[in-house]
Structure 1
Amino acid sequence: MPTDNNATHSTTNQHCFVPFNTNVDGYTLPEKFTFPFYYQPHPLAIIAAEQLQEHLQQQTDWLHNFGITDKEHDQSAPTEALLRREASKHLPAIGKMFGVLVVKNTQGQLGFLAAFSGKLADKNLWPQFVPPVFDMLSKDSFFKQENIEINQLNAQLVELENDPLLQQLTTKLALTQQQAENAIAAQRSQMIENRKYRKAQRAQAQSLNETDFKTLSIEMSRQSVNDKYCLAELKEHWERQTKLVAEPLAELEQAISAIKQQRKQLSNGLQHKLFSHYQFLNALGESSDLNKIFNDAPNHLPPAGAGECAAPKLLQYAFKHNFTPITMAEFWWGMSPKSEIKQHKNYYPACHGKCRPILGHMLKGLLVDENPLLSNPAEGVELPIVYQDDHIVIVNKPAEFLSVPGKNITDSVYSRMKQAFPHATGPLIVHRLDMSTSGLMVIALSKEANKHLVQQFISRTVTKRYIAKIDGVPQLDRGDITLPLRVDLDDRPKQLVCYLHGKNAQTHWQKVQELNNSCLIHLFPKTGRTHQLRVHCAHAKGLNMPILGDDLYGKNAQRLHLHAQLLSIIHPNTNHRITFEVNADFE
């Protein structure tokens, strides 16, 4: 069992268990613990989260600007809390993920633990929140001490890399190399002209007598040798000039490289040592550190921030202090990050990249809810065929139905079509819809038809229209959204808005019908990126209104209210445009 790196905070830790401030005797405890990567919060977890949110509104221990508007704030908070909230407005606005873990203490009393991911108000330890698994920020932490040497190397690197002599030598070397190249090129050009001249002289010398011709030939040979000698001498000259600059520059670069190598070795050693101090318990009493937990990862290294998320911190504290975990939930508090989509007060699953390996270890010994993503929601569900001929099939894919076989579920549009049309050739699938999205898909029954249709999608001559029900009513009647997208490497399959590495994604939208606090809109994707319509609706720079039922970028519901309503293509055999339309079933 790891040593208690937070022993100095024992007084604070005594207050991490928070009793419910309302009577919860009427609630039935869940039979299994929460599957943290896909869940509906248990009522007890919701009560705990709301109690924590009330604390966030009223606390006076720290200042943090969550970017919450005055409308979203509780204006009935104590005067001191209101004043501190006002004072925090000069700080950068940063939202934060919080978590609650409903537990029973050793006396059988029901309550909860609270945690935040990463740091809060530049600290990782605050009253009423569980401590970090390992406090690298404590004043006596080896991390701070050993990081001093790395920082000293960084300072040396900055000094060397900013040395004016380095820039002078670099510039002079480039200039010298260019001069050498020009001079040698000029000499070679002159040699070519000289060779042409000698050749012409030899042609004219055919009328000379043998003695004069021999004398001329000897002179021509001498000139040729002299040209080669001059070229060799010129090369040696510029090699000497280049060396005069290159050698002192190489010494400087070697010194920089040596410091970088030393820094790399120290950083790797410190990183490995740091990971070894992140010790995680599970219900069986087993302990494992980050190095072991991520040993099977592609590069064997934990991602940045691993172990600092709310969920591992909560379970570690519970196991360490003999609390019995009952259920948990995590919610976002504050403004959304610029690249991700997080809605204020919405509940979110644990991330995959950082938390899945850690929680995979920590949940051993607990009876956990089944992973709903392993069950096939399409089992027994019909796949309606809207149209078929000898070349294509148009299907109306239900929601929660895979387009192609997944990692754990093979039932899909592809497998159904393969079974229904066993003599079809080619890949069948021309395009895909997200599992949660319903609507029209075209299936090619031959290689030729597939090639024809794929080319239409590439050249964007296919017309697609989606209908969505969004959480809110846009002020405008129509608009265009351009937000580049890439996958979230730490939390697949979620997508991020990324202007540096993202792929171009464009969507046109039109308002269809205003409803009670929601709206039906048409969506016309000009590109076909993963989750494009979902992100463009939910992101703050898009509509800032998630599609109803979006469990990744909004709030979960019975289904995702997104339907591929219209599909218009050129028939691969007749070359006539054909259009299909099927209304959505959002009820």
Structure 2
Amino acid sequence: MHLHMLTLFPETPAHGDIPAVMPSPFLNHPHPLAERAARMLQQRLSSAGDDMNRLLSTGTGKMFGVLVVRDQAGHIGYLSAFSGMARGSWHVPGFVPPVFDESLHQSFLPAGRAMLTKLTEQISQLESLPLRAQLGHQISQLQQQRQDAISALKQRHRSNKEQRKMQRLQLQAVACDEREQRMAALALASQHDKREATDTALAWEQRLDAIQQQLETIEQQLLDLKSSRSEQSRALHRQVFGAYRLHNFAGRQQTILHFFADSTPPAGSGDCAAPKLIHYANQHNLQPLAMAEFWWGPSPATGIRHHGHFYPACRGKCRPILPFMLEGIAVEKEPCFGAATHAGELEIIYEDPYLWVINKPAGLMSAPGKEVEDSVYSRLCQRHPEYPELRLVHRLDMGTSGLLLVAKQLRTHKQLQKQFIQHRVEKCYEALLSKVLPAEPAAGEINLPLRVDMDDRPRQMVCHMHGKPARTRWKIIAREQQTTRVHFYPLTGRTHQLRVHAAHRDGLNAAIVGDGLYGDSGKRMLLHARSLCFTHPVSRESLTFETAAPF
């Protein structure tokens, strides 16, 4: 039954080429046998006359995956999958089908979508209702008229008040009886003005209230419809994911909802290539051996994906479910970020009673993580218990080497951080990029707003709608045979800013050498914080420090 999905290798892999234990799907680079299978699929995708390739060519790239498997007869081949849909279809010849139960989806999905469409149409009709616009316009006009009328009335009342004040002064020379009568008349006039102001405000309020009540009735209907649509959407969302029943090799099964008990599963959960491949292998008694996922086609406008590059399974949608799906077979332990580092010693560039300037080695975290304690902060705390208030003023990524500023007291920390917030600290980084950049322009500025990729933390992504401003000046220092050496001058300090601005298609489109998150892994990421200039928080002296890049 599975033979039309299983692609055999032209030559049976040697025993030594087959992994004894399945590598973790969260590795940055796949096992050589999985890479070999991926290259075969890529060759198929590159075939100009391939009908399947034309079907998948949508103008945007897509994530593909392969799973090397052994069938019950001992044959070794690979399964192919793509993430999501291909041109509106879940099914393409030669690629495994989706995980969900399609018949179950069809039992409720059309009716659910029809209900959402109907609610959306009702909302659209109410939002574009002529009466709604008319009422809003009338309210605006009345509010302006009320403001003008009340302003004119207040001006008249102020004038009346000034006249009464002058009259009271003039009455000081009038006989007592007459003065009392005329003073009483002035008091009545003052009370009349107050009543007129109150009555006028009330009259305008009543006129506005009558129209506002009509508008509020429409707005409440809109709120009720939108609330109903949200509830229907959430309920349909849960129904959809209830049809994703995941099986594992230990004989257990769960729906995707089980793994997102505290929240709604992210859109697309279960539709990535990895769960499709593992699910198909489980259902057809195929033993998973190794897996690889790669991006094929133009880079996306948001995240960092490059044509033909390999990527680990995503952490947002796949990390919660893949360990369960792989239960029952031997799988290597998922790599722990920063756990196996052998970073060198801290080099103290400068020290005084208020601060340190550290030359951080690559491979050492700035602050402790959830699973890794070793860091610049931890080492300094252990060596200097006499400074219980010491704090990092800023941070460098684990793979970045170079200058790091540390305050010994909270007051110093606050003063130095203020300089960073106000962009009064000058920083320069040196990096080696994985491509040869054109000679022109030799310098420039990148302005791409960034936010965290919620589906694949800790990756960052470009987002013009919700991202925080991120600006970087850059300058070419040297162009080599296959690389380019640049200086980066960050004008903002966003997470992974330089790495994303280097790798993104709208930035320099050249990942930093050794950056396994946004490019290809290496012994280390070739990014170095080479200079730092700031004002000393006590002496007010301008201090500049430099360290040469160790690459």
Aligned 8 A contact 2:69 2:288 in 1: yes
Q: Deviations over 1:259-300 (max 9, x none)?
A: 32332332222122112112222222222223221113xxx1
Counterparts of 1:20-169 in structure 2, within 5 Å, are 20-58=9-47, 59-61=50-52, 63-64=54-55, 66=57, 93-134=59-100, 140-169=106-135
Aligned 8 A contact 2:368 2:375 in 1: yes
Unmatched runs of 5 consecutive residues or more in structure 2:
none
Counterparts of 1:264-283 in structure 2, within 5 Å, are 264-283=230-249
Measure the CA separation in 1 of the matches of 2:219 and 2:410: 58
1:361 is aligned to 324
Matched, 1:512 2:493: no
Give, as a single letter, the amino acid of the residue that structure 2 aligns with 1:18. Answer: T
- Kindly state the Cα deviation for residue 109 of structure 1 after the two structures are TM-superposed: 1.8
Counterparts of 1:323-402 in structure 2, within 5 Å, are 323-373=286-336, 376-379=339-342, 381-402=344-365
Counterparts of 1:495-510 in structure 2, within 5 Å, are 495-510=460-475
Matched, 1:435 2:361: no
Measure the CA separation in 1 of the matches of 2:103 and 2:367: 47
Aligned 8 A contact 2:24 2:332 in 1: yes
Matched, 1:474 2:463: no
Counterparts of 1:174-213 in structure 2, within 5 Å, are 174-213=140-179
SS in 1 for 2:45: helix
Measure the CA separation in 2 of the matches of 1:317 and 1:528: 44
Aligned 8 A contact 1:135 1:141 in 2: no
SS in 2 for 1:372: coil
Aligned 8 A contact 2:116 2:232 in 1: yes
Measure the CA separation in 2 of the matches of 1:367 and 1:167: 65
Matched, 1:412 2:403: no
Measure the CA separation in 2 of the matches of 1:461 and 1:232: 55
Worse-superposed segment, 325-334 or 557-566: 557-566
Aligned 8 A contact 1:486 1:503 in 2: yes
- Kindly state the Cα deviation for residue 478 of structure 1 after the two structures are TM-superposed: 2.9
- Kindly state the Cα deviation for residue 447 of structure 1 after the two structures are TM-superposed: 4.7
Structure 1 residues 215 and 579, CA gap change in structure 2 (3 angstroms): closer
- Kindly state the Cα deviation for residue 22 of structure 1 after the two structures are TM-superposed: 3.4
Structure 1 residues 220 and 550, CA gap change in structure 2 (3 angstroms): same
Give, as a single letter, the amino acid of the residue that structure 2 aligns with 1:286. Answer: R
Structure 1 residues 302 and 574, CA gap change in structure 2 (3 angstroms): same
Give, as a single letter, the amino acid of the residue that structure 2 aligns with 1:359. Answer: L
Counterparts of 1:435-474 in structure 2, within 5 Å, are 435-447=398-410, 449-451=412-414, 453-474=416-437
Aligned 8 A contact 2:533 2:542 in 1: yes
Measure the CA separation in 2 of the matches of 1:389 and 1:173: 66
Unmatched runs of 5 consecutive residues or more in structure 1:
1-10, 67-90
Q: Deviations over 1:518-562 (max 9, x none)?
A: 222222323322212211211112211111111111111121111
Measure the CA separation in 1 of the matches of 2:536 and 2:177: 87
Aligned 8 A contact 2:377 2:391 in 1: yes
Give, as a single letter, the amino acid of the residue that structure 1 aligns with 2:54. Answer: L
2:6 is aligned to 17
Structure 1 residues 184 and 428, CA gap change in structure 2 (3 angstroms): closer
- Kindly state the Cα deviation for residue 148 of structure 1 after the two structures are TM-superposed: 0.9
SS in 2 for 1:237: helix
Worse-superposed segment, 561-570 or 308-317: 561-570
SS in 2 for 1:173: helix
SS in 2 for 1:305: coil
Matched, 1:320 2:286: no
Aligned 8 A contact 1:101 1:328 in 2: yes
TM-score (norm 1): 0.85
Structure 1 residues 425 and 176, CA gap change in structure 2 (3 angstroms): same
Measure the CA separation in 1 of the matches of 2:169 and 2:536: 72
Structure 1 residues 95 and 64, CA gap change in structure 2 (3 angstroms): farther
Structure 1 residues 190 and 526, CA gap change in structure 2 (3 angstroms): same
Worse-superposed segment, 102-111 or 181-190: 181-190
Measure the CA separation in 2 of the matches of 1:576 and 1:220: 71
SS in 1 for 2:476: strand
Structure 1 residues 184 and 60, CA gap change in structure 2 (3 angstroms): same
- Kindly state the Cα deviation for residue 98 of structure 1 after the two structures are TM-superposed: 0.7
Equivalences, count:
547
- Kindly state the Cα deviation for residue 409 of structure 1 after the two structures are TM-superposed: 0.8
Aligned 8 A contact 1:505 1:529 in 2: yes
Give, as a single letter, the amino acid of the residue that structure 1 aligns with 2:40. Answer: Q
Measure the CA separation in 2 of the matches of 1:469 and 1:122: 41
Matched, 1:301 2:264: yes
- Kindly state the Cα deviation for residue 55 of structure 1 after the two structures are TM-superposed: 2.0
Give, as a single letter, the amino acid of the residue that structure 1 aligns with 2:139. Answer: L
Structure 1 residues 139 and 430, CA gap change in structure 2 (3 angstroms): closer
TM-score (norm 2): 0.91
Pick aligned residue for 2:454 from 489, 493, 496? 489
- Kindly state the Cα deviation for residue 119 of structure 1 after the two structures are TM-superposed: 1.2
Aligned 8 A contact 1:136 1:143 in 2: no
- Kindly state the Cα deviation for residue 252 of structure 1 after the two structures are TM-superposed: 2.7
SS in 2 for 1:171: helix
Aligned 8 A contact 2:105 2:240 in 1: no
Measure the CA separation in 2 of the matches of 1:281 and 1:423: 55
SS in 2 for 1:178: helix
SS in 2 for 1:396: strand
Measure the CA separation in 2 of the matches of 1:135 and 1:517: 49
SS in 2 for 1:473: coil
RMSD: 2.7
Measure the CA separation in 2 of the matches of 1:459 and 1:391: 20
Aligned 8 A contact 2:343 2:361 in 1: no
Structure 1 residues 267 and 136, CA gap change in structure 2 (3 angstroms): farther
Give, as a single letter, the amino acid of the residue that structure 2 aligns with 1:53. Answer: Q
- Kindly state the Cα deviation for residue 505 of structure 1 after the two structures are TM-superposed: 2.5
